[in-house]
Amino acid sequence: MLSRSVTRLASAAPRSGVRALSSTALQQSATPSMGDISPSRTTVDEFNRKQQQFREQLIKAQKEREARALARQEPAASTSSPATGKTQAASQTANETTGTAAQSKEHQPERKSGALTNLIYGTKEGREMDAQIEASFSQVLARGKYVHSIVFHEVKPDKVDEYVELVGQWYPKMANLPENKVHLVGSWRTEVGDCDTFVHIWEYQKYEGYHDSRHNITHHPEFADFDRKLAKLIKSKKISLMQEFSFWPTTPPRQLGGVFELRSYTLHPGNLLEWETHWRRGLKARREVMEGVGAWFVQIGELNTVHHLWQFANLEERRARREQSWSVEGWSDTVHKTVPLIQEMKSRVLIPMPWSPVA
């Protein structure tokens, strides 16, 4: 079983290739709650110390990866020009986008021009732009390296302890089997919001990895027994498949302590690309004062939904950090431009489970 310590994390060079399948054993039988987290100033200082150490080691790991990549490129530089390679790659990407857009336009019936037609369908130029955006939508928004699933289990109130024991044994076991090719980002219990609801985020190597992992786990000799027991403990189960926004990679495993906030936004259909544009600009301001875990948009499941996950030392620190972000240049403009795009929003305060790699 792999350690989740920050020191081990840095040496593992996170997010290069297949990520570490890390988790820990179940450490307690009682369900974690807000009462387990000390509100003292000492606890806040410890959170800040771990946060700083974690960020510094991420930067160090990134520099090491860049140095290795540069070393690999140097032998190739003597046989080919980097500029030529970039030009060819850009040309190929442009041709692919143009070709896909052309195919989309090919199947689109011609409409008569006129004021009423343009009002209903948009201008011809606008439709062509929509086709180009649609053709490259995933490439623009997502990193494309991973697919994440977010799982919501609504547990029967009198079955919470049984659920914690069952899932606390099964999830780390599945995450630690190399043949499953799956990484458990984290598991949390809802403290404020949908009570008795547990949230789990898994990471797969694209959709192929998701399918392979699901096939392997479903055919595990103990899966049928686990699934039968789980069905008796929960009232409902909800799963969506998501991708990371290209500007915000999901954090590797870490142990900072504190509480988490999952913010979920249902956007008006067609506004996801605009949302990403504004959030990309405003995120720098937010992350200067707050510790982000990840940001994802749903591709299969609850469409037009965006999830952001943040981590704080405690709820008072959450309040202070959110207020502080308003003083950072760029954040108020981001809020002003994204609020009209939202149809519904929800906030959940989460407590990490003992086996959660991100905690």
pTM equals 0.69
Q: Is 202 helix (H, G, I), strand (E, B) or coil?
A: strand
CA dihedral 32, 34, 37, 38 (to 10 degrees): -150
Q: Give 90's contacts (C-beta < 8 A, 6+ positions apart).
A: none
pLDDT of residue 143: 67
Show pLDDT as tens, one digit a residue, over the chain (359 residues): 333 333 334 333 344 333 443 443 344 446 776 667 777 888 888 887 888 888 788 788 878 888 888 888 877 655 544 444 444 444 444 444 334 333 333 333 343 444 433 433 344 544 554 454 444 455 556 567 899 999 999 999 999 999 999 999 999 999 999 999 899 999 999 999 999 999 999 999 999 999 999 999 999 999 999 999 999 999 999 999 999 998 888 999 999 999 999 999 999 999 998 988 888 877 777 777 888 899 999 999 999 999 999 999 999 999 999 888 888 877 888 888 999 999 999 999 999 999 999 99
3-class SS of residue 269: coil
> Is the Cβ–Cβ distance between 352 and 293 less than 8 Å?
no
pLDDT of residue 93: 42
At 293 the three-state DSSP class reads: strand
| pLDDT attached to residue 83 | 45
- The whole-angstrom separation of Cα 347 and Cα 310 is 11
Confidence at residue 284, expressed as pLDDT on a 0 to 100 scale: 74
* Paired residues of 239 in beta bridges: 151
Residue 13 has which token pair? 């060079």
Instruction: Tell me how many degrees the CA angle 170-175-181 measures, rounded to the nearest 5.
Output: 135
pLDDT for 170: 97
Return the DSSP state at 247. T
Handedness of CA 304, 309, 310, 313 (dihedral sign): positive
Model pLDDT, residue 87? 43
Say how far apart CA 103 and CA 189 lie, in whole Å.
47
